[in-house]
Amino acid sequence: MLADAYDCVVFDCDGVLWSGGETVAQAKATLDALKAQNKKVYFMSNNSSRGPDVFRQVFESHGLGEHVKDERFMWNSVTAAQRWFKGRKTKKAYVVGCAALKDAIRGAGVTVVEPWKQMGATPEKLAEEAIDPAIDAVVLAFDKDYGYFEICYATRCLLENNAELVATNRDFQFPAQKNRKLPGNGAFVAAVCAASRREPDVVVGKPSRFALDAIVADAGVSARRTLMVGDMWSDVEFAHNAGCDALLVLSGVASLDDARRWSGITRPDFVAPDLTALLRPVERFPPAPSSSSRRWLLPSIVAAAAVAFLVSRRRGGAPPDRSDLDDATRWLTAK
C-alpha cells in the first residue's frame, strides 16, 4: 500500500480530513490504521486564525480529537510562527493578526507591541507619530480589518528599524461561499512588500518549507520517507520544497484537470480521490510532458505544413487537406 513507502505522513486539514464542513468518509479509520502501523502522523494547516485550543476543538468535532491530544502533532501558521520565534533573539514584534497568533508569539518570549490604531488618520498625522524603535520584527497574518494604518506602521518598522519581516503565508486568494474568491493574506503582504521594497525574510506557512523541515526534524525521519497529503497546489509545492513526496487528494479544492496541468514542483507524485488511498497501492502520477518534447512541437507542425504543401503541389496544386497535414505530422514526429 502507498503508506508502506513512508515513515511519516503530514496531512493538510481542510479539503483532506474534512471538506465543506463534513468529515471525509473513513478519515478516522485511515488515521487509526496509520497509527497502528507506527507511522508518525502530523497535521499542517495554513490557517492563522486558530490557536491550539480552537484548532483541537475542530478536530474533536470531526471525531479526530485523539490524533491531536499531543500538541506536537498539530501545526498551523500560528504554531509555525511560534516555532520560528523560539529559535530567534527577537525582542519586540509588531503583529497584524488574531489574538491567538499574538499569544503564540508572546509564548516564544517576544513582546508584542500594540500601537494605538489611528483609523482614518491622514498620512501627515501618521508621519508625525514616532514608531517604537525597539521593534525588531513585523509579522503579517490574515486580518480582515487591516488598512492603511497597518500597512504604514509595518512599512515604517521595516524602513526605520530594519525589522525582520515574517509572513504566515502569501495565499493571494481563498475560496469563499458561492464559489467566490476573496483576497487572502498575500494581498496584505504584497502591499507591505511594495511599500517597503522588501521581501519577507521568512514565510512560516505553506508552501514555504520552514514548517515541513521542522516537522521532519521533530519526527526524526528523513524527508524522502515523508509524504504530504493535501488538496491544493500549495500542499504539493510545500512537500517538494522540503524534499518530500506529495499525494494530491481530490476531496477539496483541486481537480484532476488541475493536476494534469501542473508541472515542475507543482506536479504531484500521486493523485487519488481521498486520503483512504494511503491504505491501497497507488501508481505514480505520470510526469508532465517534458519541455524538450514541447520545444519541438511548433517546428514539427511548421515542417508538417511545408511537407503537406509540397505533397499537394505534386498532386496538381490543390491546397493541402487535413489528412495530408496529419500524415506529414505523424511522419515528422515519429520516433
Which residues contact Mg ion by CB under 5 A? 12, 14-15, 231
Q: Minimum distance between the CB of residue 231 and Mg ion, rounded to whole angstroms?
A: 4
Q: Minimum distance between the CB of residue 304 and Mg ion, rounded to whole angstroms?
A: 44
Dihedral angle over CA of 138, 121, 119, 49, nearest 10: -20
Binding site annotation covers 241? no
14, 136, 171, 269: which is the annotated catalytic residue? 14
Q: Minimum distance between the CB of residue 255 and Mg ion, rounded to whole angstroms?
A: 14
Burial 57-91 (b: 16+ CB within 10 A, else e): ebbeebebeebbeeeebbbbbbbbbbbbbeebebe
7 catalytic, yes or no?
Answer: no
Tell me if 332 sits within 8 A of 304, measured CB to CB: yes
Q: Which of 2, 91, 76 is nearest to 39 (CA)?
A: 2
Please state, in angstroms and rounded to a whole number, the distance separating the CA atoms of residues 268 and 249.
Answer: 10
State the residue number with the nearest CB to Mg ion: 15
Q: Minimum distance between the CB of residue 171 and Mg ion, rounded to whole angstroms?
A: 11
Tell me if 189 sits within 8 A of 150, measured CB to CB: no
Q: Which of 202, 180, 179, 177 is nearest to 189 (CA)?
A: 202
Amino acid identity at 91: K
Binding site annotation covers 49? no
Binding site annotation covers 206? yes
How many angstroms separate the Cα of 188 from the Cα of each of 26, 79, 148, 152, 252? 37, 21, 10, 12, 25
Please state, in angstroms and rounded to a whole number, the distance separating the CA atoms of residues 13 and 30.
Answer: 14
Considering just the CA atoms, what is the radius of gyration of the chain in Å? 25
15/207 with CB nearer Mg ion: 15
Binding site annotation covers 185? no
Q: Minimum distance between the CB of residue 275 and Mg ion, rounded to whole angstroms?
A: 12
DSSP states along 160-205: HH--EEEES----EEE-GGG-EEE-HHHHHHHHHHHHT---SEE-S
327 catalytic, yes or no?
Answer: no
Tell me if 236 sits within 8 A of 230, measured CB to CB: yes
Q: Just list the catalytic residues.
A: 12, 14
Binding site, annotated residues for Mg(2+)? 12, 14, 231
Binding site, annotated residues for substrate? 45-47, 206
